[in-house]
Amino acid sequence: MKHISIRVPWHDHKWDGSVCQRPGDNPFCRTLPRIAEVKDDEAENKCAGMKWCKLCPNNLPACKGENGAFMSPEGYSREFNHVYAKNRNLPHNALLPTTVYVAPYSFMGVPFRYMSKDNEEEITARCPHFADDEDAPFRTSWVFGARRQLDILNWFSSEISPEGSLAVFYCKNGNPVDEDCHRLIVGMGEVTKVNGIMTYNSRSEVTYPMWELAMEHSIRPNLSESRGFLLPYHEYLALKDEYFIDKLGITKFQAIDQIKLSLDKLGNSQRIFNELSYGCEYVSNHSMLIILNAAYECLRNVKSHGLVVGDWDRQLRWIDEQISKVKSMIGPFPAFAECLRAIGINYAYLIEQDLRREGHCGLKDNPWIAFSKLVKGEIQIHNAVYKSELAHYKATWMSTSEEGKKLLELLSRFEISQEVVEKWYDDDTSYSRILENPYIISEESELNDSRYVTTEMVDLGVIPDSEIQGDWLPEHPSRIDTRIDERRIRSSITFKLKWQLSEGDTLLSITEITDYLEESLNVYDVKLPKNYIANKRNFMEETLAFVDGVSDPEANACDSALQLKEYFEIEKFLRSKFKARAAKSVKNPIKENWESIVKSSINGFDENNPRSVAAVKDQIKALEMFCDKRLSVLTGPAGTGKTTVVKAFLDSSQIRNEGVLLLAPTGKARVRLGQMADGVTAFTIAQFLTKRGFFNWDKMECCLPSNYENKRCSEYKNIIIDECSMLTSKEFFILLNALDLKTVQRIILIGDPYQLPPIGEGRPFADLYNFLNNPKQEANLRLAVTRLETVVRTIKSGDSDVLTLASWFSGSKPAKDSDKIFDKIESGNLSNDLMVYTWTDETQLRTSLNDVLKKELKADDNTLSSALLRRLGLDDIDAAYRKPELVERFQVLTPVIHPMWGAFELNNMFQEWVGHGKAQYSTEMSTEYICYADKVIQLANTTKKSNKGDKKQLSNGQIGFVKFANGKEASVVFSGYPECFFKYNSIKGDRESELELAYAITIHKSQGSDFDTVLVVLPKTGRILSRELIYTALTRAKAKLILFIEDSPSWLREFTKPQYSVLGRRNTNLFEYSVREEKTKIPYVEGLIHKTLKDGLIVRSKSEVIIANMLHQRGIEFEYERTLEENGKRCIPDFTFEDASGDPIILEHLGMLNVPSYAEAWKRKLEFYKSIGYEEGENIFTTRDDDNGSIDSIAIKKVIDEIEDLI
């Protein structure tokens, strides 16, 4: 008997048998190809909210084929049409449209996985007696013959038992609960009825089975009558954010996370991921136990929140009953057949079936005993197809060592695959340590591997439980008698540390790990003893590293953290290499007349303009640093001349002669970097590592190959790496190991430390920049970093509103008069490079966006299509073929994929607006159809043959357009590869495509790219919003930025605060111990997060920390960055006080007066203060940094004394 999973689309009214209340505003269901193909928003809007039972069978909404009404209390009729019925050359042509009655509270399960030809070998191994398939007269991915289809359907349905099997309903990835949640369980119940296989009505004697298996379930809306439940996502989503803060003291997203039943609560098991796939799939008893335990904790949280009424106690009791029932269905050795296959027993599945069917081995018996008797001839299986193989099986078994047999028996207790068994069985040196600590199997599994073994999977085999194991309880030394056994706890910690790598953390505080352990043990009502981890330190240190550090220098509070040894060594290696090389000079520095080169490169250079002079000074400093240092870092906002500096450096003949390697993480960044040096080829990092053997294409990640010391690159003395903020700690580690550092003269790292952090662990570039740029750093190391401050792009044209706004979202203090940008946005008095529009809610977004485009493009309804194509560079395909970079002139960005404001829906809108929505020829690519002249994006790093016959490297994020499309394939031209194209076959069904529409892309995908004009769609809420996300979006535009903001632009300023930094929330230990003590807190890190002694106050600079702390220690009340409004004019001072009469007193800290543009900004702001009645020394005071970045505390004290006298 098996349990099943059922995929359902997101429904805005809880799948209750009605059409969505607002079908057009539910784009989440389009993530399923069978819905995306036929969904008609206009038709569904006309019957919004209507019950399916009131609609004609052929008028049901698109989700009818994906169980969109599995909670319908009424039955309804549905019409089925065979996909081949219109083919006159097939017997299927006789099949008629067939109407089927769908019962209340029921669903249709389609076993797609077993109907796929990709899995025929597995099916044949399990069921060799099934009818052979018929050859289809065309290419197909599916089983064609009716007899084999019937065999599969009968077998699949026979394993599902009414009142015994459980059904798990899940959304695949499109849902409003969590954008990054790839599997979201929405409900669970019992299967109450399995109907027979249905067939199509036919005009002849020939018919074919319907693949849909009709079943009924026990979930009901009224929890007091239900055997099973829906999780109350809809109710939580409908509540206001403030409600959660008031009632629970946590945010809405934090509350939802506590009730969310997703993969991260199931050990992130790849096995369970696969079981929650394919539309309808078996779920094993072991997996179901893990799901039920996690569901129990989720429902306990629902109950404790008290936000949704209902008999949750009844559902908790129901889960408890199901746990007991599932345990009774489990045998003690679930991987017996997989273990047999691992030692070469090819009929393993049949042998197990026969032993059980013939009564030689009961459910709770030991099949190893029965197998031994079988091969020795002590028992017989009559007419066994493997009879002739038994002698070979006996020889294999008798030659297996006793320790090997013990290991196989232990491994068979875990529900693992043949590949996992082989990994450990083939390594006979590991037998004793696995027998002593089976959790090593989990600890040494890779989290992103399909064969990953979770701690919970091991639990079910080694924790004694007679309900599961009967009389065959695990034995020592493998057995554990408590869930706080040190072996189990270390395995849980290892999983958590691995999981957090994907969240950006390279280590975790012991406090946070302890909280995690206590939460995971809570479901078993087990308490973790106090100081458990510290008391088990010796055992933990076998695989983990303890890291001691100061979590907050201001408070002198020490804490300890745990780190995977691999990442302890990675950070140690990077720390050593970065520091040593940054401190050293090259032996033969280059001597060039950089001043004349730089001056000639700046458009509009004016030696009488202080900003021009400052720009030259900055760029010369950077070039001299490049020449002198063995490792150097160049940063600076957009438009400050980083490209100019690199180009000038690469023009040096000495550098060319020494050899230059240009690297970038993305395809677009590679192209841009390559354009800086004629005759020098730039590579993506993946290309370079692949060439040296340091990249694993199966796992799509960099790696250290065996004997990597002999594969290092020694051809180049100068290495330049662009967009370094995108590199993880491990990527930097692998990259440096792929270079023969003995032969490398210079490593030059370029990037913006305030952009989004890398997708993965750490923030190595930001940590390196802040380490080198610390005012307290020794002078030799500070010489290894240059931040370009002067925007050369606007020397002639004046300040840029885009760059001024972006400066608020950077990690540095913005210019003194930059606060005026918020007034300019609200008044609409903006320069030519920034425009701001708003939309009220998702129902109005489409119309508003259409209006914005018509206004910006000076078009109307009749000319919008041609105007859009022209702006997109797609009005002349021949010109775009010759110069594909034209398609990057205009780009829409959004934070997310699935909501109404997400990339998926925006792409549908733009495809319609450019006139491709009803194109005659298109190519199906999973959930999308791409047409001639559509803008597209490559989604994976790959090598592909072009039409010219040569293979080229295509990069994740590379943008292009469709040159040709039909029902079978599309030809695509990519930026960076003019006058050639690449063919893509149509992708149907659930398989993922390497290509998707790119009129709109996510902000994450835009990293490493820039565009002439960018339109950014920004919702005001969402767990993904952060300071760095907005900063990255704002800095993608080279010429013009159009902001399309939900509600009002006023909320933008809130996200400029350090509290909204996703970069600063990461735990790292590269140069400084930066670890949050608890899950919800922000760690302290020099240069990123500036915490003060005043409770909850985080400021923007280290100097402001000193001022705020001095004020706090003296008990002086102040406000930080409070908006000051006088006579209709507004500004944002650093510190505001109130004098005895109640009037404001202002303190401004001046951090970079040595920078001309900053000094000019302060002069303008001071004039503004004077215009509204403020005078220095009376009600406005200033403090300042020295030119070297240091600060005079005595001078600050004197200013504070003056202020204190006035208040």
Does a cis peptide bond (omega within 30 degrees of 0) precede residue 477? yes
User: At residue 566, does pLDDT exceed 90?
Assistant: yes
Please enumerate in sequence order all residues whose Cβ is within 8 A of that of 676, keeping only pairs 6 or more positions apart, or say none: 643, 646, 647, 650, 662
Q: Please state whether 1099 falls in left (phi above 0), alpha (psi between -120 and 50) or beta.
A: beta
Please report, rounded to a whole number, the percentage of residues in the chain having pLDDT higher than 90: 72
pLDDT value for 1086: 55
Nearest-CA neighbor of 809 among 817, 818, 800? 818
Q: Per-residue pLDDT tens for 450-508?
A: 789 999 999 999 999 999 999 999 999 999 999 999 999 999 999 999 999 999 999 99
Q: Which pairing describes strands 951-954 and 959-965: parallel, antiparallel, or unpaired?
A: unpaired
pLDDT value for 1076: 87
Overall fold of domain 1092-1206? Endonuclease; Chain A (3.40.960)
Q: Per-residue pLDDT tens for 222-235?
A: 999 999 999 999 99
User: Is the sign of the CA dihedral 1078, 1082, 1085, 1091 positive or negative?
Assistant: negative
pLDDT value for 550: 59
Backbone angles phi, psi at 288, to 5 degrees: -65, -35
Overall fold of domain 584-794? Rossmann fold (3.40.50)
Can you tell me whether residue 878 is helix, strand or coil?
A: helix
Nearest-CA neighbor of 1147 among 1159, 1137, 1158, 1138? 1137
Nearest-CA neighbor of 764 among 567, 960, 599? 567
For residues 1175 and 505, give the distance between their C-alpha atoms in angstroms, rounded to a whole number: 48
Helix 565-583 vs helix 729-737: angle between axes, to the nearest 10 degrees?
60
Q: Residues of 397-407 as b/e, b for ≥16 C-beta within 10 angstroms?
A: beeeeeeeebb
Domain 799-876+885-914+999-1052, classified CATH 3.30.479.30, yes or no: no
Q: Per-residue pLDDT tens for 1058-1090?
A: 889 999 899 999 999 999 887 767 665 555 678
Q: Per-residue pLDDT tens for 783-811?
A: 999 999 877 766 555 678 999 999 999 98
Q: Per-residue pLDDT tens for 847-877?
A: 999 999 999 999 999 999 999 999 999 999 9
Between residues 601 and 391, the one the model is more confident about: 391
For residues 545 and 497, give the distance between their C-alpha atoms in angstroms, rounded to a whole number: 11
For residues 302 and 235, give the distance between their C-alpha atoms in angstroms, rounded to a whole number: 11
For residues 564 and 551, give the distance between their C-alpha atoms in angstroms, rounded to a whole number: 19
Count how many Cα atoms sit within 13 Å of the Cα of residue 144 in the half-sphere of its side chain: 13
pLDDT value for 597: 78
pTM as predicted: 0.89
Please enumerate in sequence order all residues whose Cβ is within 8 A of that of 1128, keeping only pairs 6 or more positions apart, or say none: none
pLDDT value for 794: 60
CB 838 within 8 A of CB 1145: no
CB 408 within 8 A of CB 343: yes
What is the average pLDDT across 985-998? Answer: 87
Task: Please state, rounded to an integer, the average pLDDT across all residues of the chain.
Answer: 92
pLDDT value for 552: 46
